[in-house]
Amino acid sequence: MVTVLLDSIVKRLSPYEKKSATRMATILDPRFKKIGFQHMSNAEQAAHCFENELTALMNKDSSNDTNVEPISTNKDPLFDYIGNKARSMARNTRSDAIIAKRQYLERPLSQQDVDPLLWMKVNQTDFPAIKTLMLKYFCIPATSVQSERVFIKAGQIVSDRRTRLKEENVNILLFLNQNLWLTSSETTE
């Protein structure tokens, strides 16, 4: 029975490895990274997409930066020359993205009970671009159950017999009662 259930789970969930949002969310999760994929080819494609997203994000960030020449306080012209040479060197965002990706993927996996967003908060100075990607992909809800509940409840509240309800009252009935239900269910657990 256990093997049948595991096979069924693998069969049902394997198509999600090929979808870009779930692929990115898996590789960005510090608990899974490349290990979270059933097939190594999907993990490699996810790493490639991850690298492309990092490059695009770094290109966007570098185009927003303004190049302001710092005023030299050195009295030695040798240091002025070195500073000017360093400023004139072009940055390659693709290589920066590859380095950031490798540094992130080569770190050991996090504990399974670690919240990925808290992990990112602790490590945000090491991975500022990856933090932006995490916030982008981790905000996607895994299911639509909550929104379906709200639609069903709205259909029950706003009916043919209650067509004159004000918008504010509908919002109070839908969302205030839902929040009260959520807080009461959390305290009973």
Render pLDDT for 93-125 as a digit per residue (tens, 0 to 9).
Answer: 888 899 999 999 999 999 988 888 899 999 889
| The residue type at 111 | Q
Q: What pLDDT, on a 0 to 100 scale, did the predictor assign at position 73? A: 57
Give the confidence band of 78 by pLDDT, cuts at 50, 70, 90. low
Render pLDDT for 65-77 as a digit per residue (tens, 0 to 9).
Answer: 545 455 555 566 6
Higher pLDDT, 182 or 96: 96
Rounded CA gap, 163 and 99, in Å?
59
> Can you tell me the mean pLDDT for 52-63?
85
Q: What pLDDT, on a 0 to 100 scale, did the predictor assign at position 179? A: 53
Closest CA to 45 of 74, 80, 14, 20: 20
Closest CA to 116 of 103, 102, 135: 135
Rounded CA gap, 30 and 158, in Å?
44
Q: Output the six-digit token pair for 27.
A: 């590789």
Q: What pLDDT, on a 0 to 100 scale, did the predictor assign at position 68? A: 46
Contact indicator for 80, 71 with CB cutoff of 8 Å: no
DSSP code for 32: T
- Alpha carbon 89 to its chain centroid, in Å, reads 32
pTM for the model? 0.60
Rounded CA gap, 46 and 50, in Å?
6
Sequence-ordered list of residues with C-beta below 8 angstroms from that of 87, at least 6 positions apart, any chain: 67, 69
Higher pLDDT, 164 or 75: 164
Residue 139 has pLDDT above 50, yes or no: yes
Q: What pLDDT, on a 0 to 100 scale, did the predictor assign at position 50? A: 93
